[in-house]
């Protein structure tokens, strides 16, 4: 892509200073407006990534910005040795939208997973005093890069250089209940999975699988942990994806769109788990639940209701799915479309990196999920017109690459 000398200079500086853990696209974004991003040269891009399912309300939502500015003028941080009003209000609001009972605020999704793992181990430890309990996770899952989260991530490639992990982790297959049963022992303390696998390929859990895992956990007093970091906060049309299945987890994690760009996450649990797991001294965080992050949560949840975000996800998400189905029918290089709401994936029979680069050259921001899937996780306030604009650019990009 053509770029100014100034933008290239900044990219060169970044490569000298930043640890190279990302192969970044060759662009420096300077500002956002609505569902569009602008680079340093002023070029406009339609954004169907939203910071990897983070900026659900779009860029420069004035009410959101004003709420953050107002909180900055009051107080940003005090630590968890004291109460603060935004944290109390945010805890109340997140309990209302999730139906869970106890909340621990973190700084990220990975930290929320770490807390969920510790919760499960402490819950099991209090039952028998043993520390050899096992957790069942899913193949192709992704839960984060910290050691605990990495240990339950079902992709050996991510884990191999950092072994041994936290230990006593087994893997089964999403939507294959028999594979779960094959891993269950009297030492199993938790079963963890994403309600919709994100990085692993946009695989939704089936209702049958969810119901069977819930029944198994009830029967054996195993904790069901659902990772809703990417698929939660309205992305599938309900506030949390598990809410469509008629079940409830014992522990759940949330992040990404929870703060709409402010780094914040949480793990939540039922009252039963809260009363029989972590106590004072078991877990902590310096920044988690600080007034600024919690002010963001409060305003995000308020704006979801005010702007009827869930209704928009259902309507425009259905439209997005149908339009992507058209592409799958049109091009032989596309095998299928998977997803729910505004968490969609097009599965190709080839690598998709060059298609994504072509689209970016034409002013459309997309990301992959694995090497062969283009992932669509736009802001939840997009319109059908935005979908049509995206489709026009994507169709042209696929045609240029696949013929």
Cα–Cα distance between 261 and 254 in angstroms, integer? Answer: 14
For the stretch 128-155, pLDDT in tens is: 999 999 999 999 999 999 999 999 999 9
Residue 340: helix, strand or coil by DSSP?
A: strand
Q: Are strands 44-47 and 364-365 parallel, antiparallel or unpaired?
A: parallel
The whole-number average pLDDT for the span 283-304 is 97
CA angle 240, 307, 385 (to 5 degrees): 95
For the stretch 322-353, pLDDT in tens is: 999 999 999 999 999 999 999 999 999 999 99
Return the number of other C-beta atoms located less than 10 Å from residue 47's C-beta. Answer: 26
Same domain, 300 and 325: no
Same domain, 85 and 31: no
SS3 string of 32-85?
EEECEEEECCCCEEEECCHHHHCCCCCECCHHHHHHHHHHHCCCCCCCCCCCCH
Same domain, 280 and 362: no
Same domain, 262 and 125: yes
Same domain, 52 and 137: no
> 137: domain CATH number?
3.40.640.10
Same domain, 312 and 302: no
Same domain, 38 and 69: no
Same domain, 108 and 248: yes
Return the number of other C-beta atoms located less than 10 Å from residue 209's C-beta. Answer: 18
The whole-number average pLDDT for the span 7-31 is 93
The whole-number average pLDDT for the span 158-170 is 96
What is this structure's pTM? 0.96
For the stretch 361-392, pLDDT in tens is: 999 999 999 899 999 999 999 999 999 999 99
**Residue 403: per-residue pLDDT:** 77
Same domain, 181 and 269: yes
> 398: domain CATH number?
3.90.1150.10
Contact 72, 292 (CB under 8 A): yes
**Residue 1: per-residue pLDDT:** 61
Same domain, 294 and 334: no
Backbone φ, ψ for residue 155 (5° rounding)? -135, 105
DSSP string, 259-326: TTTS--EEEEE-HHHHHTS--TTS---SSTT-HHHHHHHHHHHHHHHHTTHHHHHHHHHHHHHHHHHH
Domain that holds residue 279: 63-306
For the stretch 98-128, pLDDT in tens is: 999 999 999 999 999 999 999 999 999 999 9
**Residue 4: per-residue pLDDT:** 81
The overall average pLDDT reported for the chain is 97
Residue 13: helix, strand or coil by DSSP?
A: helix
In the block, residue with structure tokens 């987890």: 249
Structural domain ending residue among the three candidates 258, 291, 306: 306
Same domain, 159 and 297: yes
């Amino acid at each position: 892509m053509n770029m100014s000398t100034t933008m290239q200079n900044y990219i060169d500086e970044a490569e000298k200073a930043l640890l190279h853990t990302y192969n970044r696209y060759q662009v420096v974004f300077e500002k956002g407006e609505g569902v569009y991003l602008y680079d340093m040269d002023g070029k406009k891009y339609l954004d169907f990534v939203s910071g990897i399912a983070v900026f659900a309300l779009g860029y420069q939502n004035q009410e959101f910005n004003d709420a953050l500015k107002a909180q900055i003028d009051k107080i940003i941080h005090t630590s968890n040795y004291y109460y603060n009003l935004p944290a109390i209000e945010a805890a109340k609001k997140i309990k209302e939208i999730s139906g869970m009972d106890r909340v621990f605020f973190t700084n990220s999704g990975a930290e929320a997973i770490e807390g969920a793992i510790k919760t499960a181990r402490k819950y099991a430890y209090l039952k028998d005093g043993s520390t050899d309990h096992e957790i069942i996770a899913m193949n192709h899952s992704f839960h984060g890069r910290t050691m605990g989260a990495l240990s339950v991530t079902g992709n050996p490639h991510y884990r191999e250089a950092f072994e041994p992990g936290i230990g006593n982790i087994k893997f089964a297959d999403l939507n294959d209940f028999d594979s779960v049963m094959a891993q269950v022992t009297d030492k199993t303390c938790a079963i963890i999975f994403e309600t919709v696998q994100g990085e692993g390929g946009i695989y939704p859990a089936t209702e049958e699988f969810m119901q069977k895992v819930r029944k198994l956990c009830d029967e054996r007093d195993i904790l069901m942990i659902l990772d809703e970091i990417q698929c939660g906060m309205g992305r599938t049309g309900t506030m949390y994806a598990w809410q469509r299945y008629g079940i409830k987890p014992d522990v759940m994690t949330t992040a990404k769109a929870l703060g709409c760009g402010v780094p914040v996450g949480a793990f939540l649990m039922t009252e039963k788990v809260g009363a029989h797991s972590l106590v004072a001294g078991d877990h902590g965080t310096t920044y988690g639940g600080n007034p600024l992050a919690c002010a963001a949560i409060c305003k995000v949840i308020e704006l979801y209701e005010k702007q009827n975000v869930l209704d928009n996800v259902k309507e425009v998400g259905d439209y997005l799915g149908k339009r992507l189905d058209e592409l799958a029918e049109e091009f032989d290089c596309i095998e299928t479309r998977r997803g729910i709401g505004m968490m969609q994936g097009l599965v190709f029979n080839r690598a998709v990196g060059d298609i994504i680069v072509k689209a970016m050259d034409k002013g459309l921001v997309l990301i992959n999920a694995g090497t062969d899937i283009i992932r669509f996780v736009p802001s939840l306030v997009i319109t059908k017109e935005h979908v049509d604009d995206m489709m026009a650019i994507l169709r042209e990009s696929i045609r240029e690459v696949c013929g």
